[in-house]
């Protein structure tokens, strides 16, 4: 009997990882009704992380999912220009956790619509910030661009009692050509001519923070996650870890794939960024170590990445048919994913 483990990420803005797992399972069973299927939906610290924790994990910590508060698919964020967005809501969520007596806090970073280096979050926790005229700045990217100095003396004192675990899907630095703004800013709405100016503002902010916090997290891997929110959490003593590996460890993924013939993973879009530690790549690494074949079902596969993905996946299938726009595909996401899973199963059945 063929054993297949179904372990997708969410298909951003369309299907949760749990919904995607069911759709894939339905497609496989339609072709291979006798296959042993194990549904093991996952997350990497981005959208849907809270769903996985709630459905599959027994945990005592407080979990805050940034994508639910300041995510790309939150209307409150998407309707604003990127310079008017900030992470203040994350700071408020941490304050609520503190008020409830929580001190062991997990922050899932992926999927944010913000690029304020965590200024808004820190201001939400009591930090003050001013421009060079002495006027308070807003807790947004626009405020960051005006920032001249900060004062951390009014930060909530309870923060010193906290343990922050930061789940990230990227380990990018804070600034530079591989940093938060240059790599991920454009997909949040930052225009190319503004990248250097914003990068300079973040460097200025980090200099202010270094003097006030006494912590040098500027060059730390993951500081650039969520538009620099990872950096701000490191200033509070947070430890950044791979969200995918953290959740896979917590769900017992390595044990689940023992004896499997195939692992099927997936995501909304696969491109060159997928190669930098996104969940499908972590799944592929674990499958390869276990000697299990691995298939990728992606909403779309970027042409520049297909060759590289083919080196890591035994099968890679684009869910969106040729000629169908991404907007149209999103409206049919569940049906298209089921069809793609059936196509995968047909190839397994034929022994391709």
- Indicate if 104 and 180 belong to the same structural domain: yes
**Whether residue 143 sits in one domain with residue 74:** yes
pLDDT in tens, 149-196: 999 999 999 999 999 999 998 889 999 999 999 999 999 999 999 999
Q: Are residues 81 and 213 in the same domain?
A: yes
Report, as an integer, the average pLDDT of 74-96.
95
Residues 15 and 35 reside in one and the same domain: yes
CB 314 within 8 A of CB 292: no
pLDDT the model gives residue 196: 97
Cβ proximity of 336 and 320 under 8 Å? yes
pLDDT of residue 215: 85
Contact of 307 with 270, CB cutoff 8 Å: no
* Residues 226 and 299 grouped into a single domain: no
Higher pLDDT: 60 or 339? It is 339
pLDDT in tens, 241-273: 999 999 999 999 999 999 999 999 999 999 988
- How much is the average pLDDT of 326-352? 94
Instruction: Answer yes or no: is 249 within a domain.
Output: no
Which tokens in the block code for residue 149?
């100095």
Q: What is the pLDDT of residues 205-236, one digit of tens each?
A: 999 999 999 888 888 999 999 999 999 999 99
Q: What Cα–Cα distance (Å) separates residue 286 from each residue in 112, 275, 292?
A: 27, 14, 9
Q: Looking at residue 253, what is its pLDDT? A: 97
Q: Which domain holds residue 295?
A: 3-41+257-350
Tokens standing for residue 112 = 């944010």
CA-CA distance, 326 to 333, in Å (whole number)?
10
Is 251 contained in some domain?
Answer: no
Q: Please determine, for residue 277, whether its predicted confidence score (pLDDT) is greater than 80.
A: no
Residue 15 belongs to domain with CATH number: 3.40.50.10350
Whether 126 and 225 share a structural domain: yes
Task: Kindly tell me if the per-residue pLDDT of 352 is higher than 80.
Answer: no
**Residue 29 pLDDT > 80:** yes
**Residue 148 domain-assigned (yes or no):** yes
pLDDT tens readout for residues 280-325: 999 999 999 999 999 999 999 999 999 999 999 999 999 999 889 9
Relative to beta strand 3-6, strand 36-39 is parallel
Position 265 in a domain: yes
Predicted confidence at residue 231, as pLDDT, reads 97
Same domain, 230 and 333: no
Of 189, 219, 243, the residue that ends a domain is: 243
33, 59: one domain: no
DSSP 10-68: -BTTTB-HHHHHHHHHHHHHHH-TT-EEEE----SSSTTHHHHHHHH----SEEEEHHH
Q: Residue 82: which CATH number?
A: 3.90.1510.10
229 in the same domain as 114: yes
End residue of a domain, out of 243, 270, 290? 243
The C-alpha atoms of residue 104 and residue 82 are separated, in whole angstroms, by 31
Please check whether residue 296 lies inside any domain of the structure: yes
* pLDDT for residue 274: 87
Give 189: exposed, middle or buried? Use CB within 10 Å, 0-12, 13-18, 19+: middle
Beta strands in the chain (DSSP E): 3-6, 36-39, 62-65, 104-108, 128-131, 147-151, 163-168, 239-242, 262-267, 293-298, 315-318
What's the whole-model pTM score?
Answer: 0.92
Total domain count, the chain? 2
Cα torsion for 258, 259, 264, 265, to the nearest 10°? 10
Q: What is the mean pLDDT of the chain?
A: 95
What's the pLDDT at 322?
A: 87
Residue 222 located in a structural domain: yes
Dig out the tokens for 162 from the structure.
Answer: 């906290």
pLDDT at 334: 96
Let me know whether 73 and 178 are in one domain: yes
Asked if residues 236 and 212 have their Cβ atoms less than 8 Å apart, the reply is no
Query: What pLDDT is recorded for position 177?
Result: 94
In a domain, 62, yes or no: yes
* CB atoms inside a 10 Å sphere around CB 151: 13
Q: Are residues 302 and 238 in the same domain?
A: no
Q: Are 27 and 140 in the same domain?
A: no
Flag whether 250 is in a domain. no
H or E stretch covering 330:
helix 326-331
Give the domain-ending residue among 243, 272, 297.
Answer: 243
């Amino acid at each position: 009997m063929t054993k297949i483990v179904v372990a997708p990420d969410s298909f951003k803005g369309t299907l949760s990882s749990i919904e995607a797992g069911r759709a894939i399972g339905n497609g496989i069973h339609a072709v291979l009704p006798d296959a042993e299927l194990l549904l093991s939906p996952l997350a990497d610290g981005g959208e849907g992380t809270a769903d996985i924790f709630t459905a599959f994990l027994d945990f005592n910590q407080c979990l805050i999912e940034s994508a639910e508060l300041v995510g790309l698919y939150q209307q409150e964020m998407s309707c604003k220009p990127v310079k008017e967005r900030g992470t203040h809501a994350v700071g408020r969520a941490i304050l609520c956790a503190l008020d409830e007596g929580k001190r062991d806090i997990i922050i899932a970073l992926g999927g944010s619509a913000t690029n304020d280096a965590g200024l808004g979050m820190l201001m939400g926790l009591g930090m003050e910030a001013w421009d060079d005229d002495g006027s308070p700045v807003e807790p947004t990217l626009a405020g960051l661009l005006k920032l001249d100095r900060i004062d951390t003396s009014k930060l909530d004192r309870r923060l010193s009692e906290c343990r922050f675990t930061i789940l990230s899907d990227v380990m990018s630095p804070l600034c530079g050509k591989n940093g938060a703004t240059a790599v991920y800013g454009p997909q949040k709405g930052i225009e190319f001519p503004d990248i250097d100016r914003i990068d300079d503002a973040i460097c200025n902010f980090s200099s202010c923070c270094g003097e006030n916090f006494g912590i040098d997290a500027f060059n730390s891997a993951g500081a650039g996650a969520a538009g620099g929110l990872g950096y701000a959490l490191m200033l509070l003593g947070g430890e950044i870890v791979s969200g995918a590996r953290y959740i896979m460890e917590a769900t017992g993924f390595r044990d689940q794939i023992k004896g499997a013939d195939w692992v099927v993973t997936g995501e909304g879009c696969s491109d060159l960024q997928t190669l930098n530690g996104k969940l499908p790549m972590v799944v592929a690494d674990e499958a390869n170590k276990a000697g299990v074949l691995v298939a990728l079902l992606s909403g779309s596969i970027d042409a520049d990445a297909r060759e590289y993905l083919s080196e890591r996946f035994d099968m890679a299938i684009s869910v969106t048919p040729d000629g169908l726009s991404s907007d149209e595909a999103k409206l049919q996401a569940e049906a298209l994913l089921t069809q793609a899973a059936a196509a995968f199963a047909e190839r397994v059945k034929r022994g391709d």
